[in-house]
Every structure is written in C-alpha cells, then in structure tokens.
C-alpha cells in the first residue's frame, strides 16, 4: 500500500508473487501511462520481474494497482485490458482518509470478490 501512497495522484502498479497461495514478494513496477486514471507497466521491468519470479520457483499470484480517487473495484478498462487468466487483481483504493485493499478474480467480462487475509510474518 505504501507504493500507492507515494505515487499519488498516479496509479501504482506491480506484481505479487509467492508459493502456492502465500505471498512472499511484492514487486513495484513503474507506471508509464500518461493518464493518471490508468496504469501501464514498464515492459522491461515487467519482464525482469517475471523472470525473477520464475527463477525463484514462485508463481505470479496477483497484479496490484491503485485507484487513488476511484472505487476499490475493477473498472471496465481494468477488465478489458486484463491478460492474466487465473491471476488475482488486487486494488488499493483511498476511501476518504483510509486506504482499503480488495482482491478480485476477473472472469470473462466480469469480476468477483475473493477473500484475502493479510498477516505479518516479520
């Protein structure tokens, strides 16, 4: 969520990876979109991140991005642009002064909420 705070008013984006369904790494990726209401991952950073995930024997669990001024649900543009079947969409959104995080699966042209549990293993 920190990445989302620092990139305002632009959307933050990145990958969430780990083993099975447990996240072990969050990889911020530069948003190169010229539109503050959209994200487009830097292709070189995206490829490097995917190679690192694979080389560590992890799998891509989710793609996160922020909605600094929008709802914590996938937009029609998010749904239309989604290219990762089976990967979760994690959205960090600002609700008044609080940030909220929601998790979704995109299926065809729709989305459904998924349960997510955040634990501190430190």
- Please identify every residue annotated as catalytic: 11
C-alpha separations of 19 from 3, 65, 76 in Å:
22, 21, 30
Closest CA to 27 of 19, 17, 39: 17
The torsion angle over the Cα atoms of residues 52, 65, 63 and 45, rounded to 10 degrees, is -30
Tokens of 5: 């705070």
């Amino acid at each position: 969520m920190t990445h989302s705070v620092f990139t305002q008013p632009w959307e933050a984006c990145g990958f969430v990876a780990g083993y099975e369904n447990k996240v072990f790494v969050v990889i911020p990726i530069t948003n190169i979109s010229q539109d503050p209401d959209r994200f487009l991952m830097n292709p070189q950073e995206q490829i490097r991140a995917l190679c690192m995930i694979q080389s560590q024997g992890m799998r891509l669990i989710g793609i996160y991005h922020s909605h600094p001024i929008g709802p914590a649900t996938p937009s029609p543009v998010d749904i239309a642009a989604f290219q990762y079947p089976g990967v979760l969409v994690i959205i960090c959104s600002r609700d008044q002064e609080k940030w909220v995080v929601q998790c979704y699966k995109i299926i065809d042209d729709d989305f459904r909420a998924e349960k997510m549990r955040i634990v501190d293993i430190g």
